[in-house]
Amino acid sequence: MKRRSSYFKRCPSCRVNSEHCYCSKIHFLSNQTPIDIIMHKSEVALTSSSATLAKLSLKKLNIHIRGDKEISFSPSFINEEKYTPLYLYPGEDAHELTREFIQALKKPVQLIVPDGTWRQTKNLQRRESKLRECIMVKLPSKQVSHYFLRKQKYDYGLCTHEAIAYALGIIEGTIFEQALMKNLQYMVEAHLLARKRRVKISKLMT
């Protein structure tokens, strides 16, 4: 019998079953704000990673892997000479990310976003000296997540793509938020359809 994985050929970009590939629907945006995602190694292989979608959606976005012995991690990408680095995480000392807050900064924003579970990201800034120098910011209100592919630990929890969408909506305008959230809708719909397909084929194989 063929390996089960052979029944589910995935698109190398969006990583969903090729039958449900949504790459042609994705809005690709030329953002001015550079975004750097610090991804925990455990997220790299996950097909439901929303950080991967963010990479497909935004021109100025880079992903840096942390926690892998084979890949060295250095926060040297932080450019405090040209930008004001903001670390997006809802910590106790975080400032609310608002238009007024952005306008008061002397330099353009560089947005740094941790990606992983709450446990994996909780102490990341504390452990990296250069990240400790960044201003911690949080979204101004509790948003409802539309990412139904994983269970959130908290009711107000957002996936990485959603956090970036809402943040860019504040920094660069609502057009970015709307387009990115539409991309997320395409992703969620495609994965849910693919999951139904897997269940159907699994039943046929039993």
pLDDT digits (tens, 9 = 90+) for 117-165: 878 888 888 889 899 999 999 998 777 776 766 665 555 578 999 999 9
Lowest mean pLDDT among 28-32, 103-107, 124-128: 124-128
CA 41, CA 67: separation in Å to the nearest integer? Answer: 6
- Residue 83 CA to residue 70 CA, distance in Å, equals 30
Q: Which helix (H) or strand (E) holds 22?
A: none
Q: Extract the runs of DSSP E, i.e. beta strands, from 61-160.
A: 61-66, 84-88, 95-96, 109-115, 135-138
Predicted model pTM: 0.87
Retrieve residue 82's tokens.
Answer: 């040209």
Q: Which long-range contacts (CB under 8 A, 24 or more apart) does 66-71 make?
A: 66/38, 66/39, 66/40, 66/41, 66/124, 67/40, 67/41, 67/42, 67/120, 68/41, 68/44, 71/41
What is the structure's pLDDT at 94? Answer: 95
State both tokens at 183. Answer: 């991309």
Q: Which two tokens stand for residue 202?
A: 């699994």
Among all chains, which residue has been given the structure tokens 């994985």? 5
Can you give the pLDDT at residue 47?
86
Which residue ranges make up each domain of the chain? Answer: 30-140+152-185
Q: Which of 165, 161, 158, 160 minimizes the C-alpha distance to 144? A: 158
Q: 């960044």: which residue's tokens?
A: 134
